[in-house]
Chains A and B, each alone.
Chain A
Amino acid sequence: MNDDSWLTRLRRRNRAWLRRHSYSFFSSLGVLLKHKIGTLMTVLVLGIAMFLPLGLYMTLANLDGLNLRQDEWSAVTVFFKSGTTQEEVRRIADELDERLSPEAVVVISPADGMADFREASGFGESLDILEENPLPWVMQVSPRRGTTEQVEARVAELSDFLQPIDSIEVTQFDYKWLQRLGRMMELGQAAVSVLILLFGLAVVVVVANTIRLDVASHAEEIEILALVGAGNAFVRQPFLYSGLWYGLMGGTLAVLLLGLTMLYLARPLGLLLETYGTAFSLHGLGGFNTLWVLLGGAFLGWLGAWISVQRYLRRLKVGGRLGR
């Protein structure tokens, strides 16, 4: 046997393989489109199953993207007692800067505080009726950035430094709130992982069951195919592609549902956050994540179909003797 004939045979075999796959690829889609209602029901179930973990994931991703950055929320706000002088505040700020080298120390005078309050509160000229400015001197200290543990240690150092100072009325640690939020986000992310696992399993089970019924209704056809020389791969292909299409359609529906939900929520959520003075826009899934959802859906569908059809073929012994 020479090289040419070997190559020609290989090429012919590859082309035959491609033709068989393209036939199964399109014929399986044709079958799904022929049974519109049944396909729609299955795709709806799959779409919703994929949408739920995806929705939670996007909620967390958007929360993460909110103005909750470490440098702002790890800040310690120090309110001085009334009557504390500018010199005293400056001296404390300089000493703190020298000893603990924080990321930033911002001193806000009562006048600056009042100006900010006038603008943010909307009271405007109504505040003119106040005979004197009741706001105290305020100092905002941002600890140096780092890991959660490092920031926690730096906030503790700050607390130790500020505690014995008599001229301080109140020290407010926003970091605790951030810490709790961080933990909640971690919990949410863990919940997303569990949901992805559970709903992924649900997708596999739904597709496996749909394909099982599909295979059972084609039992006679499978037997005839086996009789005229079809191997396991040929019999399996259309069902595997059906599973793949189901998963892909389910994934597409989940992405569409997510898009519509975000479109629906964007305006009321934006208006709500605007009242807190936070400019906000919902972030979509993005091209890369969308691709992952579609590929993941297609894979899960394929897997469900594979599990189902493999069990059936093993029972029927299509590739071997038909066992009768």
Chain B
Amino acid sequence: MIKFDRVSKSYSSGSRALADVSFEIERGTMVFLTGHSGAGKSTLLRLVMMLERASRGQVIVNQRNLSNCPDRLAPLVRRSTGMIFQDHKLLKGKTVADNVALPLMIAGLRYPDIRKRVRAALDKVGLLDKESAWPQTLSGGEQQRVGIARAIVSMPPLLLADEPTGNLDPNLSRELFRLFEKISEQGATVLIASHDLDLIRQTRKRVLVLSNGRLADDIPASDGQ
């Protein structure tokens, strides 16, 4: 599903975000990406989302080599990837339901189908009663769950999450990870960037450890996955 082959990413300022990173993630698995701040976790996710281009090496997602993929295909790549952001990235001028509906509107689905899928996604994250609410009236945890609903509403084969538990208390974080596990069990590949080591250990999933842009460790799953 995701293959990094000797991937490096440097910026014009001279700073190096990733250096010679190689790994492979199978379809339908849940993998954690961890490391200290500035280790390159977000850059790695941005490469998978085609928000950045690798300076060297190959990034292959869903059998498509993103390193030589033309820019015009970037929206297509993003449409087949659900992304959860630490700062939620919700539109303040739209209701919860409208925010969740965005990927489906972009895909041009019929309104009754959009409504049905939005309600199903909100139900999954436990926010069905908030569909008409405005994002700014929700708590941080609720906003995060709206972001998750938006990421899973189009049932993408790949789900990326950048520090999804950054604003949540431990209980909510555990609940969220259980939700990711469920999504992964349904066949989606889930890659989560997080530095919540306690929670990561509890899930017993595979962990990629980044340090100063290098893959320092690749701890296999101990849950039988």
Q: Point out residues on A near B: beta carbons under 8 Å.
A: 15-20, 23, 220-221, 223-231, 234, 317, 319-322, 324
Question: Once the chains are docked, how many angstroms separate the CA of A154 from the CA of B47?
Answer: 83
Indicate whether A20 sits within 8 Å of B71 (C-beta atoms), given known contacts A229-B79, A229-B103, A321-B50.
no
Known pairs A221-B91, A229-B75, A231-B76; list 10 more (Cβ under 8 Å). Answer: A16-B108, A17-B108, A19-B110, A226-B78, A228-B83, A228-B103, A229-B76, A234-B75, A321-B51, A324-B51
Question: Once the chains are docked, how many angstroms separate the CA of A19 from the CA of B80?
Answer: 20
B79-103 contacts to A (CB < 8 Å): 79-81, 83, 85, 89-91, 93, 102-103
Question: Once the chains are docked, how many angstroms separate the CA of A15 from the CA of B113?
Answer: 14
B51–A225 contact, CB under 8 A?
A: no
Q: Is B116 an interface residue (CB 8 A)?
A: no
Indicate whether A230 sits within 8 Å of B52 (C-beta atoms), given known contacts A20-B108, A224-B91.
no
Per-residue interface assignment for chain B, residues 30 to 73, with 1 indicating a CB less than 8 Å from any chain A CB and 0 otherwise: 00000000000000000001111100000000000000000110
Specify which of B85, B93, B109, B111 is in contact with A16 (CB 8 Å cutoff).
Answer: B109
Nearest chain-A residue to B75 (Cβ)?
A231
Q: Is B145 an interface residue (CB 8 A)?
A: no
CB neighbours (8 Å) of B103 from chain A are 228-229
9 contacts between A and B (CB under 8 A): A17-B108, A18-B108, A19-B108, A226-B78, A227-B78, A228-B79, A228-B102, A231-B76, A321-B53
A322–B75 contact, CB under 8 A?
A: no
Specify which of A17, A23, A223, A324 is in contact with B105 (CB 8 Å cutoff).
Answer: A23
Question: Once the chains are docked, how many angstroms separate the CA of A15 from the CA of B108?
Answer: 8
A-B contact count (CB 8 A): 75
How many whole Å from B81's CB to the nearest CB in chain A? 8
Q: Is B107 an interface residue (CB 8 A)?
A: yes
Question: Once the chains are docked, how many angstroms separate the CA of A228 from the CA of B148?
Answer: 12
How many whole Å from A226's CB to the nearest CB in chain B? 7
Question: Once the chains are docked, how many angstroms separate the CA of A156 from the CA of B71?
Answer: 73
Q: Is B74 an interface residue (CB 8 A)?
A: yes
Which of B52, B81, B89, B106 lies at the interface centre, i.e. has the most chain A CB atoms within 10 A of its CB?
B106
Q: Is B150 an interface residue (CB 8 A)?
A: yes
How many whole Å from A126's CB to the nearest CB in chain B? 81
How many whole Å from B207's CB to the nearest CB in chain A? 26
CB neighbours (8 Å) of B52 from chain A are 321
Indicate whether A320 sits within 8 Å of B72 (C-beta atoms), given known contacts A228-B106, A229-B106, A230-B106.
yes
Specify which of A19, A234, A319, A324 is in contact with B71 (CB 8 Å cutoff).
Answer: A319
Majority SS at the chain A contact face: helix
Interface size class of B (residues with CB under 8 A): 20 to 34
CB neighbours (8 Å) of A224 from chain B are 89-91, 102
Question: Once the chains are docked, how many angstroms separate the CA of A221 from the CA of B106?
Answer: 14
How many whole Å from B166's CB to the nearest CB in chain A? 17
Nearest chain-A residue to B90 (Cβ)?
A224
CB neighbours (8 Å) of A227 from chain B are 49, 51, 78, 83, 85, 89
A225–B102 contact, CB under 8 A?
A: yes
How many whole Å from A27's CB to the nearest CB in chain B? 10
Which of A20, A220, A229 lies at the interface centre, i.e. has the most chain B CB atoms within 10 A of its CB?
A229
Indicate whether A317 sits within 8 Å of B71 (C-beta atoms), given known contacts A16-B108, A20-B105, A227-B78.
yes
Question: Once the chains are docked, how many angstroms separate the CA of A317 from the CA of B74?
Answer: 10
Question: Once the chains are docked, how many angstroms separate the CA of A20 from the CA of B78?
Answer: 18
CB neighbours (8 Å) of A226 from chain B are 75, 78
Question: Once the chains are docked, how many angstroms separate the CA of A186 from the CA of B78?
Answer: 59
Question: Once the chains are docked, how many angstroms separate the CA of A320 from the CA of B51?
Answer: 8
Specify which of A234, A320, A321, A324 is in contact with B106 (CB 8 Å cutoff).
Answer: A234
Nearest chain-A residue to B150 (Cβ)?
A228
Question: Once the chains are docked, how many angstroms separate the CA of A319 from the CA of B75?
Answer: 6
Indicate whether A321 sits within 8 Å of B74 (C-beta atoms), given known contacts A19-B110, A224-B91.
yes
Question: Once the chains are docked, how many angstroms separate the CA of A321 from the CA of B49?
Answer: 9
Question: Once the chains are docked, how many angstroms separate the CA of A324 from the CA of B49?
Answer: 13
Question: Once the chains are docked, how many angstroms separate the CA of A20 from the CA of B49?
Answer: 23
CB neighbours (8 Å) of B53 from chain A are 321
Nearest chain-B residue to A24 (Cβ)?
B105
Nearest chain-A residue to B50 (Cβ)?
A321
CB neighbours (8 Å) of B102 from chain A are 224-225, 228, 230
Nearest chain-B residue to A218 (Cβ)?
B93
Question: Once the chains are docked, how many angstroms separate the CA of A234 from the CA of B85?
Answer: 22
B78–A228 contact, CB under 8 A?
A: yes
Question: Once the chains are docked, how many angstroms separate the CA of A324 from the CA of B106?
Answer: 23
Question: Once the chains are docked, how many angstroms separate the CA of A316 from the CA of B90?
Answer: 19
CB neighbours (8 Å) of B106 from chain A are 20, 225, 228-231, 234
Question: Once the chains are docked, how many angstroms separate the CA of A224 from the CA of B98?
Answer: 13
B154-172 contacts to A (CB < 8 Å): none
Per-residue interface assignment for chain B, residues 104 to 122, with 1 indicating a CB less than 8 Å from any chain A CB and 0 otherwise: 0111111100000000000
CB neighbours (8 Å) of A321 from chain B are 50-53, 71, 74
